[in-house]
A = this chain, B = another copy of it.
Amino acid sequence: MASLIVPDSIPSVAEDIEQLHKAFSGWGTNEDLIISILAHRNAEQRKHIRQAYAETYGEDLLHSLEKELSSDFERIVLLWTLEPAERDAVLLNESTKRWTSSSQVILEIACTRSSHALLSAKQAYHARFKKSLEEDVASLITGDFRKLLVPLVSTYRYEGPEVNTTLAKREAKILHEHISAKEYNHDEIIRILTTRSKTQLFATFNQYNNEFGNAITKDLKADADDDFLKTLRSVIKCLVTPEKYFEKVLRSAINKTGTDEWALTRVVATRVEVDMNVIKEEYYRRNTVQLDHAIKGDTSGDYEEMLVALIGA
């Protein structure tokens, strides 16, 4: 499902770092060379490159890249080069500090990662920021959003295949009761969304649909402009149909006047090694245009080249 293309035969790590070092030397920077290497190495390979680069040249590769690159191209290369857990930690820290009620990054990371990947991100957060994700989310965000986001980032969900049908029925009913009463911030809605396994929630939302005639996300559309309702809908989509959630983020980012590079960069950097091919299929199904064409039409230069190389045109 990953879109990353790693050539069958790749140069040694020593050759890769020599080429990268060369790309930074002399007049100007050789961006094409940087893309041709980094956009075609997987997380493990990039990790080795970063280690060997630091040992050989006495500088973190990320610092060299930061000095040489700029703007959106810099951001995609830096985010991509980071290890997945560290990248999530950086995104979470940024999003916590600059949080607004329309920001979706925290819930996106909390709900689309596996329990193990979310835990790894929290460990990377400790190591890098000398505090916990939980305390930052809890102290920087307030009100209903805090009530929802703190348990979302804290929980360590069960991931087994077991489904309790009786429980799914009971909790579909609880959700429906509170949604019908417009009690969207009710403790029980938050408890169910933040603690049950994704498999169990899938059954609960199906049950909701069958029993009450509407998809739960549709019943949560009472007020399309309400950021809390929008957040609840995104949580549900991230938990059970992440590819649809990401397709929508990409669509909005590309269709927006001026393009939302921040969102485009984040989704590409975080999904290329996970499920980008599924997201691409979903994008085509929904827009009848290929994602790489849409991106080419909306971006330019090295940034465009890097994105297209990563999503595997």
Contacts and interface: CB of A to CB of B under 8 A. Distances in A.
Nearest to A136: B195
Contact of A135 (B139, B159, B187, B195): B195
Contacts of A135: 158, 195-197
Given A119-B119, A150-B151, A151-B151, A195 B132 contact: yes
A223 interface: no
Nearest to A135: B195
Contacts of A155: 132, 134, 154
A120 to B, nearest CB: 11
Question: How large, as a class, is the contact surface on chain A?
Answer: 20 to 34
A21 interface: no
A196 B136 CA distance: 9
A158 B132 contact: yes
B156 A131 contact: no
Interface string A103-143: 00000000000000001001100100011111100110000
Contacts of A162: 130-131
B156 A197 contact: no
A86 to B, nearest CB: 16
A134 B191 CA distance: 9
A248 interface: no
A198 to B, nearest CB: 11
A130 B158 contact: yes
A131 B197 contact: yes
Interface string A144-161: 001000110011111110
Interface in A157-196: 157-160, 162, 187, 191, 194-196
A249 B126 CA distance: 33
A166 to B, nearest CB: 13
Contacts of A130: 158, 160, 162
A61 to B, nearest CB: 26
A132 B197 contact: yes
Contacts of A157: 132, 134
Given A132-B197, A162-B130, A119 B156 contact: yes
Interface in A190-208: 191, 194-197
A137 to B, nearest CB: 8
B197 A160 contact: no
Given A119-B119, A135-B196, 7 more contacts: A122-B156, A131-B197, A133-B156, A134-B151, A134-B157, A150-B151, A150-B191
Q: Which 3 A-B pairs have the closest CB atoms?
A: A154-B154, A135-B195, A132-B158
23 contacts: A119-B119, A119-B156, A126-B158, A126-B159, A132-B155, A132-B157, A132-B158, A132-B197, A134-B151, A134-B155, A134-B156, A135-B196, A135-B197, A138-B191, A138-B194, A139-B191, A139-B195, A150-B151, A150-B191, A150-B195, A151-B151, A151-B154, A154-B154
